Amino acid sequence: MKLTPRVAKILSWYESDNPGTKANLARILNAGRLGGTGRMVILPVDQGFEHGPARSFAPNPAAYDPHYHFELAIEAGLNAYAAPLGSLEAGAATFAGCIPTILKVNSSNSLATTKDQAVTGSVSDALRLGCSAIGFTIYPGSEYAFDLMEELRDMAEDAKAAGLAVVVWSYPRGPNLDKVAETALDIAAYAAHMAALLGAHIIKVKPPTEAISLDAAKKTYASHPVEVGDAAKRIAHIVQACFNGRRLVVFSGGESRGADSLLDDVRAIHAGGGNGSIVGRNAFQRSKPDALKLLSDIIDVYLSEV
Amino acid sequence: MKLTPRVAKILSWYESDNPGTKANLARILNAGRLGGTGRMVILPVDQGFEHGPARSFAPNPAAYDPHYHFELAIEAGLNAYAAPLGSLEAGAATFAGCIPTILKVNSSNSLATTKDQAVTGSVSDALRLGCSAIGFTIYPGSEYAFDLMEELRDMAEDAKAAGLAVVVWSYPRGPNLDKVAETALDIAAYAAHMAALLGAHIIKVKPPTEAISLDAAKKTYASHPVEVGDAAKRIAHIVQACFNGRRLVVFSGGESRGADSLLDDVRAIHAGGGNGSIVGRNAFQRSKPDALKLLSDIIDVYLSEV
Amino acid sequence: MKLTPRVAKILSWYESDNPGTKANLARILNAGRLGGTGRMVILPVDQGFEHGPARSFAPNPAAYDPHYHFELAIEAGLNAYAAPLGSLEAGAATFAGCIPTILKVNSSNSLATTKDQAVTGSVSDALRLGCSAIGFTIYPGSEYAFDLMEELRDMAEDAKAAGLAVVVWSYPRGPNLDKVAETALDIAAYAAHMAALLGAHIIKVKPPTEAISLDAAKKTYASHPVEVGDAAKRIAHIVQACFNGRRLVVFSGGESRGADSLLDDVRAIHAGGGNGSIVGRNAFQRSKPDALKLLSDIIDVYLSEV
Amino acid sequence: MKLTPRVAKILSWYESDNPGTKANLARILNAGRLGGTGRMVILPVDQGFEHGPARSFAPNPAAYDPHYHFELAIEAGLNAYAAPLGSLEAGAATFAGCIPTILKVNSSNSLATTKDQAVTGSVSDALRLGCSAIGFTIYPGSEYAFDLMEELRDMAEDAKAAGLAVVVWSYPRGPNLDKVAETALDIAAYAAHMAALLGAHIIKVKPPTEAISLDAAKKTYASHPVEVGDAAKRIAHIVQACFNGRRLVVFSGGESRGADSLLDDVRAIHAGGGNGSIVGRNAFQRSKPDALKLLSDIIDVYLSEV
Amino acid sequence: MKLTPRVAKILSWYESDNPGTKANLARILNAGRLGGTGRMVILPVDQGFEHGPARSFAPNPAAYDPHYHFELAIEAGLNAYAAPLGSLEAGAATFAGCIPTILKVNSSNSLATTKDQAVTGSVSDALRLGCSAIGFTIYPGSEYAFDLMEELRDMAEDAKAAGLAVVVWSYPRGPNLDKVAETALDIAAYAAHMAALLGAHIIKVKPPTEAISLDAAKKTYASHPVEVGDAAKRIAHIVQACFNGRRLVVFSGGESRGADSLLDDVRAIHAGGGNGSIVGRNAFQRSKPDALKLLSDIIDVYLSEV
């Protein structure tokens, strides 16, 4: 197999990484229907942890079985499947070599009393399960943000030494951030930038809204305006915050909703130069045929000319 | 000895585990009168820690002696005996090889000021005492839930590497959970699911009630209803939350009470596809003949046709 | 030297321990005038830490010198001498091989602001000083109880691996325990039982009073009464809580007081099946001749027929 | 290459360091237009972490690309470039050997809820990225000051053993320090002195103001006055606090502002015997030609006769 | 070189220490004009950390240079020089072998918000810098006292294993101790005793006042009175608390003041059997000739007949 020029270019941005990590990034970038394009669609299934099993899987009970998600991701031709320890343990051997996997190594839950996460997997776990990457969530703005960053630093160092890639979910929340702030453009760009500074290979954020939230940032955005009304321009600003495009950034799909609304987002990501989508509930809460249709439509957008 | 098809099937679900762990799971599944059926009855004796010695053993003073519990579990033909460090140290050599043992590695007590547990045993202890598994309690919903999960993760990784199985007691409690919530169906399913995601091989929860407690979950259960009035359907929902049955789940017996009430529970567990019972006070607080009779009746339920 | 049948029997209860730990238990049980009887009198001198030097030693200034306590314990024919790091460092070479020593590895003090203890010695210290055991205090009921238990677990694992014995001082105290509760019969039995569950070889508690303190326990003691008015029966209940006698339990002497009152306690311990006394201030705050007389009287009680 | 007498003299002050650390100090002192003079100008780019990407880079969007800063520092003939992990990872290979780099191993951010920093890089990271030094921020006066100092101690020991230099950003802040106090002369001297005591090779502080803030220090400054109205005398006092000049001390440029104001500061640093400037926003927020001009002017000051 | 009988006797008290530690104690006891007498005068310079550079060194600006203190201690014929990491790093090579050094491994400062200390040096640092001992401060009575004691325990174990001596600064302070209590006779004796119990080789306390502060201790001091009006008797009581003289104890000089007042203290220390003085500000805040005169006078007292 030969790398496409686009993938070769992307790998060149990760100039400090060892060949093991580059190979795992290449595995993710070369998998599925988007293989070689530099775009990705990833299936993440940690909602059982975050929201509980019934809220996650009752709409499509087949999804209670961890094998279902491996199959969905493979059949849809996705780039990778991300899940917590138990889920990967339950399918990693059956589907070994069929699709790159990302071990989500920390998780929160709806019963939690703090805006923190528990570390629930390790780099060793990722290695024994044949994963290509670890996935880690940070909450910039939380009282636990520094602890989360330090845990990430620690695990990322080990992951990189072991030739794994590091995917960072960067979700702003905390006592000084209201609901608007959590997805405001300036905050989202900041969150993405911090993930890049922390050494992430792939960054996951939510699509930003038009809001500018941090008082200290308003003057800057006033003198150096972003066309916040244009979703693609907002995406482009996030890409800029990811080392001007030197780090891969993907956007989450959010709550279950109509395919049209979701595809609008995807078109903006595509137009703005984002590297893809990470679509969970919108995929596995639909019936398998519907999910395959939607994922195919998303992939088609990323395959289209910008 | 040859594995029964049922046990072979169950072991196939633990596809990421090493042969050592599979062998220990097989030892538990093959022990006692239920050996080979995929059902289990386990004797847990950590109530001395949780409630104190007199509240636990005064009703049947022979039970003050740790040897008594080994003998009871062996004579009753159970699958395993679970206890804290000191109890196993006091009998592990005398009864070496007679019954699989589970070292309960964390414990709380009635004098405690927080909803936490102390780690009181280690994987090394489990190995030197010849145990087949470690047992660990998490309190989802507690202020200490993330700490408990991280301790579990740490010990589970070591246990799996050493060829031991991991049994997780998942007991919801915490500042946002009232008494009803602690055993509500949605919360119990969530607790069981988190244990599965955390990599448990065997999950222990309390039998769920009809309540649906978490506001965020009520809509889901309204659109995708479980027949909450049918105890077997509630059990089946818990089984579903345990990776659609890919993880073994057993149910506790609760406080001492009449045999009929307990056997009703057991019939529901059996009918709902649960993997068995873990019966402490209802066993060791009865006289030995009464306990053997009750345990025999429970086993008979699990040996009956569903 | 041959073990007496009694000591051989006691060692058989510690069935999971390695020969090193058994040998050290034997050293303690075979030392002094009570050697071979299964009864013990131990001299503990950590009151300098707990109460300060003057309150401890001014009544008998010779006791300011650490050598004094070694000499007292040896001359009195005791089973062991227990003290903190500095005290043992100051005499361990001079008195090497003369009497088994117990390194008290944690300590509190009267200036402390919390119901906790500082770890002030290690298993390595115990080994280099030629000790037979480590001694560790837990405060069941304290906000620090879980931390103390986890420290104990950690050190006890190392101590057992190194062939040392583990002595646990179990002293209930904490925000929910008043003065009556701290020595109430049910709480004392619970404290002793937890020490046994934590893997202690020798348990030290205060002699219990007639009180039953924990609300949740009152029903049990009402249905299964202990003759609380009989001090020997109270001791027997504590022995029961120590794995029905499978773990050695000794009782502290408490504050300095008249010899008669102390000997009454000792007779009750003897009659109730306790394994001995651990007498500090009542020994070293008397002049040496008086102390030797009192210790001799105590030993005589334990040498008498029950 | 031969060391200049000035650099040889400076290295002689670091008499306890191994040849690896001395070589890395020499690399920094010998780089760029100021090479060999004992003066330094360093480019630090951690403002993306501290203030967010747009506030840092929107005024000069080329600066969103990590390569830009390497190029700027090299073209300007600076002594070193300091940045967090992700930024160095993105350019360390391309610019290997072109300019000494300093890995900033801890960082705060504008969303943080406490006056603390997260450790975001390691000594191992610095080594694999070919850095000459680690950079660490302490906040004397903060509730986290002791934690920060202990983290620094730990990392500095490893850095020195690995032959790296240690640069300490010492920024007073905390509940007892108001805005005036944070840059008051006495506090700045104290902050610089603590960095020296903690074993820093190079100390970074803000240029001090005329204020004397700590009550306990006012009497001293009254009896032993510093000519606080003279900026060069204030610098000289800081130099004095850095072991009377035995430790290198550089001063930050502060917020973006006019070149004249900044150059006034530089002249005072030069006249007062400071070892140079560390100029971030004033450099990278200007267009490249403007930045090169300003940096050249700064260097010219340091090349002039005092 | 042959040990004097006095030093040989003192070393015999440290009977559990290895030859490395005994050699380092001997180096300190044999250095300077008091060499061989069993008395010591030590120069400690950690006031830059505790009070800031100007408050410490402005009265004698030569003292800003770390070399000054080495020279002062050597010229004065002292037994040892104690300082934090940075200060020793700056002179350890120049003055290698000229005077025993003590690395002060923890420090507080006047900007701190808690009654704690930061660990700022390590046993490895002490070894690479050729020190004879580590110095550690504990604050008995502080909310951090247990943490400090546990840090000390940890470092002292390593230090002793590496053949270093351990010097403990024991300074009572905390929420229940007012200014009077901090130097009260009973509290000072208690603080010294705890340092001894923690395994200190050399103990440093402040000279005690006449006050008896702890309520629980007043009865003891009433029945077993110390002649508190006689400073030498107060010193003798502290010596008694240091294992009846089996542990070396030195007394600090306190704030800068007249030579007569300081020499009065020294005479009391000498008469009371204390092992010497540790004089910082009173030495380095005087001009060098004045300091040498004062230190010579102090040494003369210790050389005089008692």
D111, A141: Cβ pair inside 8 Å?
yes
- Which residues of E fall within a CB distance of 8 Å from D17? 89
C110, E214: Cβ pair inside 8 Å?
yes
Chain A residues with CB within 8 Å of chain B CB:
48-49, 51-55, 58-59, 61, 64-66, 84-94, 107, 109-114, 116-122, 124-125, 128-129
ipTM of the complex: 0.96
Q: What are the tens digits of pLDDT across the range D38-71? A: 999 999 999 999 999 999 999 999 999 999 999 9
A89, B149: Cβ pair inside 8 Å?
no
The pLDDT of residue B1 is 74
**Mind giving me the DSSP string for A165-220?**
EEEEEE---BTTB-HHHHT-HHHHHHHHHHHHHTT-SEEEEPPP-S----HHHHHH
Chain B residues with CB within 8 Å of chain C CB:
48-49, 51-55, 58-59, 61, 64-66, 84-94, 107, 109-114, 116-122, 124-125, 128-129
Distance, CA of D107 to CA of D171 (rounded, Å): 12
Q: What is the mean pLDDT of residues D197-222?
A: 97
The pLDDT of residue D256 is 72
- Which residues of D fall within a CB distance of 8 Å from A246? 65-66, 90
Of C81, C139, C171, C302, catalytic = C171
Element (H, E) at E38: none
Q: What are the tens digits of pLDDT across the range D76-121? A: 999 999 999 999 999 999 999 999 999 999 999 999 999 999 999 9
Q: Count of CB contacts below 8 A, C vs E?
A: 134
The pLDDT of residue E277 is 98
- In a mutational test of the E interface, the residue from C51, C56, C64 whose CB has the highest number of chain E CBs within 10 Å is C64
The pLDDT of residue D253 is 81
Q: What is the mean pLDDT of residues B219-246?
A: 97
The alpha-carbon gap from C256 to the nearest alpha carbon of chain E, in Å, equals 13
Q: Do chains E and D touch (3 or more CB pairs under 8 A)?
A: yes
The alpha-carbon gap from E167 to the nearest alpha carbon of chain C, in Å, equals 13
Q: What are the tens digits of pLDDT across the range B172-206? A: 999 999 999 999 999 999 999 999 999 999 999 99
Q: The tokens of E147 are what?
A: 């943490």
The alpha-carbon gap from C186 to the nearest alpha carbon of chain E, in Å, equals 30
Q: Which residues share a beta bridge with E92?
A: none
Please state the pTM of the whole predicted model. 0.96
Instruction: Give B169's pLDDT tier (boundaries 50, 70, 90).
Output: very high
Distance, CA of E156 to CA of C290 (rounded, Å): 38
Of C104, C115, C160, C204, catalytic = C204
- In a mutational test of the E interface, the residue from C56, C87, C109 whose CB has the highest number of chain E CBs within 10 Å is C109
Of B171, B190, B206, B302, catalytic = B171
- Which residues of D fall within a CB distance of 8 Å from E94? 15
Amino acid, res. C202: I
The pLDDT of residue E1 is 75
The pLDDT of residue C305 is 87
Nearest CB to E86: which of D142, D176, D198? D198
D90, A145: Cβ pair inside 8 Å?
no
A224, D58: Cβ pair inside 8 Å?
yes
- Which residues of A fall within a CB distance of 8 Å from D58? 220-221, 223-224
Chain A partners (3+ C-beta pairs within 8 A): B, D
**Mind giving me the DSSP string for C5-39?**
HHHHHHHHH-TTS-HHHHHHHHHHHHSSTTTTTT-
Q: What are the tens digits of pLDDT across the range B54-89? A: 999 999 999 999 999 999 999 999 999 999 999 999
Distance, CA of B217 to CA of B228 (rounded, Å): 14
- In a mutational test of the D interface, the residue from E95, E120, E125, E281 whose CB has the highest number of chain D CBs within 10 Å is E120
Per cent of chain B over pLDDT 70 is 100
Do B140 and B172 form a contact (C-beta atoms < 8 A)? yes
Distance, CA of A220 to CA of C159 (rounded, Å): 62
- Which residues of B fall within a CB distance of 8 Å from C149? 118-120
Alpha carbons within 13 A on the beta-carbon side of C278: 27
Do A203 and A241 form a contact (C-beta atoms < 8 A)? no
- Which residues of C fall within a CB distance of 8 Å from E145? 109, 111-113, 118
Is D9 an active-site residue? no
The pLDDT of residue A306 is 76
Q: What are the tens digits of pLDDT across the range D2-14? A: 999 999 999 999 9
Of the listed ranges C120-124, C159-163, C253-257, D173-177, the one predicted with least confidence: C253-257
Q: Is the pLDDT of residue B305 over 90?
A: no
Nearest CB to E94: which of D15, D216, D240? D15
Note the CATH architecture for domain B5-303.
Answer: Alpha-Beta Barrel (3.20)
The alpha-carbon gap from E57 to the nearest alpha carbon of chain D, in Å, equals 9
DSSP state of A137: E
Residue spans of beta strands (DSSP E) within chain C: 40-44, 80-83, 101-104, 106-107, 118-119, 133-138, 165-170, 202-205, 248-252, 276-278
Report H helices in chain D.
5-13, 19-30, 47-51, 53-57, 66-75, 85-89, 123-128, 145-161, 179-182, 185-197, 215-223, 231-241, 259-272, 281-284, 288-303
Q: Which residues of E are catalytic?
A: 171, 204
Chain D: residue whose CA lies nearest to A220? D55
Q: What are the tens digits of pLDDT across the range C24-51? A: 999 999 999 999 999 999 999 999 999 9
The pLDDT of residue A305 is 87
Q: What is the mean pLDDT of residues D220-224?
A: 96
Tally of CB atoms within 10 A around D251: 26
Kindly tell me the burial class for residue D63, based on how many C-beta atoms sit within 10 Å of its own C-beta (0-12, 13-18, 19 or more): buried
DSSP state of E40: E
Q: Is the pLDDT of residue E172 over 90?
A: yes
Per cent of chain E over pLDDT 90 is 97
Q: Is the pLDDT of residue E132 over 80?
A: yes
The pLDDT of residue D141 is 97
The pLDDT of residue C279 is 96
- Which residues of A fall within a CB distance of 8 Å from B170? none
Distance, CA of A134 to CA of A123 (rounded, Å): 7
Of A171, A190, A206, A302, catalytic = A171
Instruction: Give B24's pLDDT tier (boundaries 50, 70, 90).
Output: very high
- Which residues of A fall within a CB distance of 8 Å from B246? 65-66, 90
Q: What are the tens digits of pLDDT across the range E238-267? A: 999 999 999 999 999 877 788 999 999 999
Q: What are the tens digits of pLDDT across the range C221-273? A: 999 999 999 999 999 999 999 999 999 999 998 777 889 999 999 999 999 99
Chain D: residue whose CA lies nearest to E96? D16
Mean pLDDT over all residues of chain E?
A: 97
Do A166 and A136 form a contact (C-beta atoms < 8 A)? yes
Q: What are the tens digits of pLDDT across the range A95-105? A: 999 999 999 99
Instruction: Give E94's pLDDT tier (boundaries 50, 70, 90).
Output: very high
The pLDDT of residue E109 is 96
D113, A175: Cβ pair inside 8 Å?
yes
B53, C172: Cβ pair inside 8 Å?
no
DSSP state of D207: P
The alpha-carbon gap from A222 to the nearest alpha carbon of chain B, in Å, equals 39
Q: Is the pLDDT of residue C199 over 80?
A: yes
Amino acid, res. E213: S
Kindly tell me the burial class for residue C224, based on how many C-beta atoms sit within 10 Å of its own C-beta (0-12, 13-18, 19 or more): middle
Q: Is the pLDDT of residue D254 over 90?
A: no
Distance, CA of A211 to CA of E151 (rounded, Å): 49
The alpha-carbon gap from C7 to the nearest alpha carbon of chain B, in Å, equals 16
Instruction: Give D149's pLDDT tier (boundaries 50, 70, 90).
Output: very high
Q: Is the pLDDT of residue C81 over 90?
A: yes
Q: For each of chain A's 306 residues, which pLDDT tens digit applies?
A: 799 999 999 999 999 999 999 999 999 999 999 999 999 999 999 999 999 999 999 999 999 999 999 999 999 999 999 999 999 999 999 999 999 999 999 999 999 999 999 999 999 999 999 999 999 999 999 999 999 999 999 999 999 999 999 999 999 999 999 999 999 999 999 999 999 999 999 999 999 999 999 999 999 999 999 999 999 999 999 999 999 999 999 999 877 788 999 999 999 999 999 999 999 999 999 999 999 999 999 999 999 987
Amino acid, res. A170: S
Q: Residues with Cβ < 8 Å from E261, sequence gap 6 or more?
A: none
Amino acid, res. A256: S
Do C266 and C302 form a contact (C-beta atoms < 8 A)? yes
Q: The tokens of D304 are what?
A: 């002039």
The pLDDT of residue C1 is 75
Q: Count of CB contacts below 8 A, A vs D?
A: 135
Q: Do chains D and C touch (3 or more CB pairs under 8 A)?
A: no
Instruction: Give C72's pLDDT tier (boundaries 50, 70, 90).
Output: very high
Residue spans of beta strands (DSSP E) within chain A: 40-44, 80-83, 101-104, 106-107, 118-119, 133-138, 165-170, 202-205, 248-252, 276-278
The alpha-carbon gap from E187 to the nearest alpha carbon of chain D, in Å, equals 27
Chain D partners (3+ C-beta pairs within 8 A): A, E
